[in-house]
């Protein structure tokens, strides 16, 4: 179903009717909170479990769930790796599992989340129960991959259609994007507007430009402190802020009915992402505008993002060569291993963008080609502050340190508030996909802030490249797969470029992309048809 089509009702209503507790797997923290608040207001007992709540709150939810206290529990996909959560599922009466934003389970979807792959592994631990998978943006290829990944047997497939005839699709070709936003804002008679930008800096740039011209705008991105994001979101939802300039971190799961215009000032990476974000307009079924402000130079930003996410083999080879060259200048007695310096240092030394270096480090770490050396051993950690103080630190620190703190808490649990607990550095880097350099820096920051005692030698640069692993077939196979995913991402970007540049009907192009069969050649209402 399209955005705003009523997908949530497809699992909320059965959850109310069926005995037991439904588990809803969702990547959207904002959606979880919004829906749980709305359900509880309607006296439908519900809860959510994600990184925004404390271990003590999670413990309370587990206790209540064991007593049959909830009809619906929303969980982040990363929770599926938790032994405590699996144990909970074994102990409660489950009705079914809903996989929301199901395109995330497909590596050919536009928002692939590896943690989603653990959904089917649940049935190694619990009895298989019914599954419903929901998405607004699945092409035929992704639909089939969802079926395969979840191992669904003869599933019923429902496609309501992708068209929302109250939305008008426009594309404006210009380099002066701020001027166009101003023109759109001044043409609005009521409601609010979302402006999507391709980076955090761009949100600040455009919101500042709008404010200087007396447009009541604010910015929103994932790098802001949680309390700041909540405050901005609240002012937008209540109508105090008319225009919000945001990255794609904003809007998923936010049910604001009167968005009259969604503007993209940077080219999205996929048609799926554009369709989903544009679909946040007109959820009250009244007419709304979806406008892409495009310039051919926009392609460079997305091409850079793709190369950072799926680094080319030539960049991987260059990285390895530069690490080896770096090690020739230092003394190290580890045969076959090379020390990995700080990501910023190797980027500067190699003359490579930092984002690409981080992408390579992440890729090689997942393959256990980059790993902690023997000097790490099994470290120990103890929290030296209360849960409330840890929560306060969590809310004020950076996204990177929040990610590390989440991973540590999932690894050691609440016992670490009372005594030293074993902490596997290898598990943090490999299982939780934590960048080694970020992990070392974060542990140092936690020690400096006085929130942990740490016994071990995490030493920021003491991660190693195991050259022997570069010569096996698995590495070559993974590099080829990475190449395949990069090519696929480039094909998706090309489809988005065609949408921006085509003179054909914009609505027809989008609906044909999703293989919607009931498509008119000309809608008579988009920027191409008018």
132 and 59 within one domain = yes
Residue 362 placed within a domain: yes
The whole-number pLDDT of residue 251 equals: 66
247 and 216 share one domain: yes
Do 34 and 145 fall into the same domain?
A: yes
**Mean per-residue pLDDT, 92-107:** 92
Rounded to 5 degrees, φ, ψ at 327 are -70, -20
In a domain, 486, yes or no: no
Q: Which residues pair with 465 in a beta bridge?
A: 338, 370
Residue-wise pLDDT tens digits, 242-295: 999 999 878 665 668 899 999 999 999 999 989 989 988 998 889 999 999 999
Residue 61 shares a structural domain with residue 132:
yes
Neighbouring residues of 120: CB distance < 8 A, sequence distance ≥ 6: 149, 150, 151
Residue 430 has pLDDT above 60, yes or no: no
Say what the pLDDT of residue 254 is: 66
150: which 2 tokens?
A: 């979840």
Which tops the pLDDT comparison, 109 or 155? 155
Of the listed ranges 44-53, 119-128, 329-338, 494-503, the least confidently predicted one is 329-338
13 and 137 together in one domain: yes
**Average pLDDT for residues 150-164, to the nearest whole number?**
88
Kindly state whether residues 234 and 271 are assigned to the same domain: yes
Which contacts qualify for 313-318: CB closer than 8 Å, 24 or more apart? 313/479, 313/482, 313/483, 315/352, 315/356, 315/360, 316/360, 316/363, 316/364, 316/479, 318/350, 318/352
Q: Are residues 325 and 426 in the same domain?
A: no
Greater confidence (508 vs 460) lies with 508
- Say if 242 falls within a structural domain: yes
Q: Are residues 222 and 276 in the same domain?
A: yes
Q: Assess whether 276 and 318 both reside in one domain.
A: no
Task: Verify that 306 and 282 share a domain, yes or no.
Answer: no
State the distance between the two ends of the chain, measured CA to CA, in whole angstroms.
27
CATH no. for residue 213?
Answer: 3.40.50.300
Q: Are 288 and 260 in contact (CB under 8 A)?
A: yes
pLDDT for res 433: 63
Q: Quote the domain boundaries for residue 76.
A: 7-149
Number of domains observed in the structure of the chain: 4
Residue 373 has pLDDT above 60, yes or no: no
- State mean pLDDT over 324-353: 69
What would the pLDDT profile of 51-67 be if each residue is shown by its tens digit? Answer: 778 888 888 999 999 99
In-domain check, residue 273? yes
Computed over every residue of the chain, the mean pLDDT equals 86
Residue 386 has pLDDT above 80, yes or no: yes
For residue 66, the model assigns a pLDDT of 94
DSSP 115: G
Q: Does one domain contain both 271 and 342?
A: no
pLDDT score at 197:
94
> Residue 528: inside a domain, yes or no?
no
Cα–Cα distance measured from residue 116 to residue 26, given in angstroms and rounded to the nearest whole number: 9
Helices (runs of H) and strands (runs of E) counted in the chain = 19, 17
* pLDDT of the residue at 412: 84
| For the ranges 171-175, 347-351, 411-415, 456-460, the one whose mean pLDDT is highest | 171-175
**350, 282: one domain:** no
Give me the pLDDT at residue 469, please: 80
- Residue 496 within any structural domain of the chain: no
Average pLDDT over residues 320-334: 67
Q: What is the pTM of this model?
A: 0.73
């Amino acid at each position: 179903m399209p955005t705003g089509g009523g997908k949530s009702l497809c699992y909320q209503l059965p959850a109310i009717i069926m005995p037991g507790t439904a588990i809803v797997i969702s990547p959207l923290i904002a959606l979880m909170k919004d829906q749980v608040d709305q359900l509880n207001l309607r006296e439908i007992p519900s809860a959510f479990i994600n990184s925004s709540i404390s271990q003590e709150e999670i413990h309370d939810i587990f206790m209540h769930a064991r007593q049959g206290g909830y009809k619906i529990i929303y969980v982040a996909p990363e929770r599926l790796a938790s032994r405590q959560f699996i144990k909970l599922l074994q102990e409660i009466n489950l009705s079914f599992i809903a996989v929301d934003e199901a395109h995330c389970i497909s590596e050919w979807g536009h928002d692939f989340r590896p943690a989603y792959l653990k959904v089917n592994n649940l049935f190694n631990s619990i009895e298989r129960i019914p599954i419903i998978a929901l998405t607004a943006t699945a092409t035929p290829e992704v639909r089939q991959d969802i079926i395969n990944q979840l191992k669904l047997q003869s599933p019923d497939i429902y496609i309501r259609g992708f068209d929302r005839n109250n939305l008008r699709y426009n594309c404006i070709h210009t380099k002066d994007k701020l001027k166009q936003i101003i023109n759109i804002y001044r043409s609005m008679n009521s409601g609010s507007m979302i402006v999507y930008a391709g980076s955090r800096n761009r949100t600040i740039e455009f919101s500042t430009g709008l404010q200087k011209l007396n447009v009541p705008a604010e910015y929103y991105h994932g790098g802001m402190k949680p309390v700041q994001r909540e405050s901005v979101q609240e002012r937008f939802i209540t109508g105090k802020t008319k225009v919000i300039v945001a990255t794609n971190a904003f809007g998923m799961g936010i049910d604001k009915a009167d968005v009259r215009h969604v503007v993209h000032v940077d080219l999205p990476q996929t048609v799926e992402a554009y369709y989903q974000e544009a679909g946040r307009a007109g959820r009250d079924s009244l007419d709304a505008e979806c406008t892409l402000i495009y310039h051919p130079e926009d392609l460079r930003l997305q091409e850079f993002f793709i190369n950072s996410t799926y680094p080319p083999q030539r960049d991987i080879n260059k990285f390895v060569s530069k690490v080896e060259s770096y090690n020739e200048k230092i003394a190290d007695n580890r045969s076959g291993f090379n020390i990995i310096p700080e990501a910023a240092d190797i980027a500067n030394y190699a003359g490579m963008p930092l984002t690409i270096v981080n992408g390579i480090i992440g890729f090689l770490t997942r393959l256990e080609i980059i790993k902690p050396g023997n000097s790490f051993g099994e470290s120990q950690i103890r929290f030296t502050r209360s849960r409330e103080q840890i929560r306060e630190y969590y809310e004020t620190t950076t996204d990177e340190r929040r990610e590390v703190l989440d991973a540590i808490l999932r690894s050691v649990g609440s016992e670490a508030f009372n005594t030293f607990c074993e902490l596997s550095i290898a598990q943090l880097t490999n299982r939780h996909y934590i960048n080694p350099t970020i992990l070392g820096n974060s542990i140092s920051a936690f020690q400096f802030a006085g929130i942990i005692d740490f016994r071990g030698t995490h030493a920021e640069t003491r991660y190693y490249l195991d050259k022997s692993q570069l010569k096996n077939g698995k590495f070559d196979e993974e590099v080829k797969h990475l190449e395949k995913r990069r090519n696929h991402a480039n094909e998706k970007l090309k489809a988005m470029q065609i949408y921006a540049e085509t003179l054909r009907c914009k609505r027809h192009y989008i609906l044909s992309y999703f293989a919607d069969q009931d498509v008119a050649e000309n809608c008579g209402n988009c920027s191409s048809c008018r």
